[in-house]
Amino acid sequence: MALNVFTAVTGAAWESELVGALDRDDHGVTVVRRCVDVAELLAAAATGTGQAALLSAELRRLDGAAVARLTAAGVAVVGLVEPGDEPATERLRKLGVGRVIPADSSPELIARTLREAVTGGPPAGHDVADPRTALPALGLPAEPADGPAGRGRVVAVWGPTGAPGRTTVAVGVADEAARLGVASLLVDADVYGGVVAQVLGLLDESPGIAAAARQTGAGTLDVPALARLAWSVHPRLRVLTGLARADRWPELRPGAVAAVLEEARRLAALTVVDCSFNLEEDEELSFDTAAPRRNGATLTVLEAADDVLCVSGADPVALQRAVRALAELREVLPDVQPRLVVNQLRRGPVPGDPRAEIAAAFERFAGQQVDTFLPADRRATDTALAAGRSLAEVAPGSALRIALRSLAAELADVPEPARRRRGRR
């Protein structure tokens, strides 16, 4: 059976000859529509009459969202670039086009690549190499000197609704890891009300993650660009601030968030992401694969993370919410195995020994062990918030700060410095 293909390579000098060769010879490919722009290509894809699309890098208004919509419609995408045009190749790769071949390839190779794109087979022999290996040839600025030697780790900080202290934990872990010598990036991906910028005394109106997401859509986000968008809080800590207004959540589409995290892995050895609480899906939109989903960014971060911290409070209401949240996480993302962090541990809300009682409650009702207890230290957190500084700056001896440093060392897999003891006089 012939493979039905859309083309969108208008403006290229070789377009007519290529389409004619595909139609003329018996390559098992039939061009069912020649589209003049992205809008027509998306409309054709929605009809379900084609299985693949062949497009050129010069197609106007082509962005990551368009590629994602084609993929969601079941249309595999193959890109064509002028021979030797590495910038165009890199741009298509960043937009999500997995197979890119030179425009002077033979019709046989193009047809084979289209079939492999549909069936999910291996890339053609002339396919372009991993864009990471091609970066030096593009003449891009050098990557930051303190970036990771390999693939950095991503830690998602998530938890139920309320005030369990997700942002406090995220900021503390990123800051302490940086102070332990680990190049760190703190990302505010909370689509309901991120406050990382305010906690650290940064400008809310800085471009941050929204600008990074826009650049992924245009295929222009790389390590130097991400470094320029992130605040440099101190030598080994960068911060990618969140949305200035909650109503801007549609800017953080799942595909864009995933692309930002991939660049973050190259920029920093440890990326800490402050997530939203909500994992619910809108059932009314579930049939529409192109519709934006507010909680899609959170689900994407949790799926991509190497470690997920579930932050719970230490009072009965917070514990109940955490138990329900863990059950929901297991239902939505069964492969994610979170680490449970109980924050604000103190005597009073829970009778008896709070550490033992809370650990027993999670074992009984959630089948989950508590990995870390963080003590309550309201005076230290209030001082830090008022000053727009980290705990290490305003309360270095705080019990909460010391616990966060231990957690950061464990997540970053680096030794924790020995605690200094005060000598007697």
Architecture of the 3-131 domain: 3-Layer(aba) Sandwich (3.40)
- Express each pLDDT in 91-119 by its tens digit: 888 888 889 988 888 888 888 898 888 88
Classify residue 139 as left (phi > 0), alpha (psi -120 to 50) or beta. Answer: left
The reported pLDDT for the residue numbered 10 is: 65
Q: Residue 162 — pLDDT band, cuts 50, 70, 90?
A: confident
The reported pLDDT for the residue numbered 25 is: 65
Weakest-pLDDT range from 75-79, 174-178, 397-401: 75-79
Question: Per-residue b/e over 23-43, b at no fewer than 16 CB within 10 Å?
Answer: eeeebebebbbbbeebeebbe
**What does the alpha-carbon distance between residue 173 and residue 414 come to, in Å, rounded to a whole number?**
13
Q: How far is CA 362 from CA 93, 314, 335, in A?
A: 44, 11, 19
Distance of CA 317 to the CA centre of its chain: 31
Contact 277, 326 (CB under 8 A): no
Weakest-pLDDT range from 32-41, 149-158, 288-297: 288-297
Match 């991993």 to its residue by tokens: 130
Q: Residue 420 — pLDDT band, cuts 50, 70, 90?
A: low
Q: Residue 123 — pLDDT band, cuts 50, 70, 90?
A: very low
**What does the alpha-carbon distance between residue 252 and residue 296 come to, in Å, rounded to a whole number?**
8
Query: 3-131 and 153-412 share one CATH topology?
Result: yes
The reported pLDDT for the residue numbered 283 is: 47
> Mean per-residue pLDDT for 183-193?
95
Give the global pTM: 0.72
> So where are the chain's domains?
3-131, 153-412
**With 50 as the cut, is the pLDDT of residue 135 above it?**
no
Contact 349, 376 (CB under 8 A): no
Token code pair at residue 85:
């045009």
For residue 67, give the nearest of 256, 252, 304, 226 by alpha carbon: 256
Alpha-helical regions (H) of 129-278: 131-134, 166-179, 196-199, 208-218, 223-229, 254-267
The helix/strand/coil state of 294 is coil
More confident residue, 322 or 17: 322
The reported pLDDT for the residue numbered 119 is: 82
**What does the alpha-carbon distance between residue 366 and residue 369 come to, in Å, rounded to a whole number?**
9
**With 70 as the cut, is the pLDDT of residue 127 above it?**
no
Match 């995408």 to its residue by tokens: 77
The reported pLDDT for the residue numbered 301 is: 97
Question: Per-residue b/e over 317-350, b at no fewer than 16 CB within 10 Å?
Answer: ebbebbbebbeebbeeeeebebbbbbbbbeeebb
The reported pLDDT for the residue numbered 191 is: 93
The helix/strand/coil state of 238 is strand
Weakest-pLDDT range from 197-201, 219-223, 238-242: 219-223
**With 90 as the cut, is the pLDDT of residue 174 above it?**
yes
What is 153-412's CATH topology? Rossmann fold (3.40.50)
Alpha-helical regions (H) of 120-232: 131-134, 166-179, 196-199, 208-218, 223-229
- Express each pLDDT in 272-312 by its tens digit: 999 999 998 754 444 455 556 889 999 999 999 999 999 99
Which residues have a Cβ under 8 Å from the Cβ of 413 and sit 6 or more positions away? none
More confident residue, 139 or 89: 89
Q: Checking DSSP bridges between strand 3-8 and strand 52-56, what pairing results, if any? A: parallel
The reported pLDDT for the residue numbered 155 is: 98
**With 70 as the cut, is the pLDDT of residue 24 above it?**
no
Contact 308, 339 (CB under 8 A): yes
Is residue 67 exposed (0-12), middle (13-18) or buried (19+ Cβ within 10 Å)?
A: buried
